């Protein structure tokens, strides 16, 4: 029996459950769901969103992943979000296009167990308001020659947590915010799931 199977069958084995937080289209969320659909030790158990019309809800439904909507009060002032995470025995949180700042209550509950993907090479083009096309327009306006993605742990400041992974792409003179967005999205799809997998498997939490 391989060492992995011995670990898998041991009485100490615990499935590593993920909750995805998303605010919009949910393409990165679905990519994660697809990647971990048959994973032996990691499972997407729940999708949470702050927008009742987020297409991420439909993507979750397509994969039979439970999904819930919450408001700002339920995230920051009540225990509803934590209660939902507890209900599904969540051990890790992955932000996939989630735009609100994570409150201290969640950061303290999940220390170094929340990860985010950002569409720029942090620390450049990070912070409040720096998301999506806002980032790509700023990159073009400033004449940058490179952009990319950053996957980082989450703390109580926007885009300031420990960097886990970065990948870059060239910005050409003919590029527009839209073409940069396409390049970034392609890298997100390529790298995000495997980096999340490595991050989870490398921790004992």
| Total Cβ atoms within 10 A of residue 115 | 25
Residue 5, Cβ neighbours under 10 Å: how many? 10
Cα–Cα distances in angstroms (integers) from residue 9 to residues 17, 38, 74, 154, 197, in the given order: 17, 17, 38, 32, 20
Using only C-alpha atoms, the chain has a radius of gyration, in whole angstroms, of 17
Residue 21's H or E segment, with its range, is strand 16-22
Q: What whole-number distance in Å separates Cα of residue 111 and Cα of residue 178?
A: 35
Q: Which residue in 12, 39, 89, 118 is the catalytic one?
A: 118
38 annotated active-site: no
Give me the torsion for CA of 36, 55, 104, 159, rounded to 10°: 80
Q: What is the 3-state secondary structure (H, E, C) of 57-116?
A: HHHHHHCCCCEEECCHHHHHCCCHHHHHHHHCCCCEEEECCCCCCCCHHHHHHCCCCEEE
* Residues designated as active site: 118
């Amino acid at each position: 029996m391989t060492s992995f199977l011995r670990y898998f069958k041991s009485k100490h084995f615990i499935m590593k459950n993920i909750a995805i937080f998303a605010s919009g289209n949910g393409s990165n969320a679905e990519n994660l769901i697809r990647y971990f659909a048959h994973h032996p030790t990691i499972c997407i158990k729940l999708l949470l969103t702050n927008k009742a019309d987020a297409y991420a809800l439909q993507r979750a439904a397509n994969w039979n992943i439970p999904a819930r909507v919450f408001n700002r009060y339920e995230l920051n002032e009540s225990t509803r979000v934590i209660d939902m995470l507890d209900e599904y025995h969540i051990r890790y949180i992955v932000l996939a296009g989630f735009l609100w700042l994570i409150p201290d209550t969640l950061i303290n509950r999940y220390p170094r167990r929340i990860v985010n993907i950002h569409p720029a090479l942090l620390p450049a083009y990070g912070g409040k308001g720096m998301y999506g096309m806002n980032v790509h327009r700023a990159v073009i306006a400033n004449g940058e020659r490179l952009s990319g993605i950053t996957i980082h742990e989450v703390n109580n400041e926007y885009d300031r947590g420990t960097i886990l992974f970065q990948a870059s792409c060239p910005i050409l003179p003919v590029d527009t915010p839209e073409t940069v967005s396409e390049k970034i999205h392609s890298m997100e799809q390529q790298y995000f799931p495997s980096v999340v997998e490595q991050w989870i498997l490398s921790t004992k939490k």
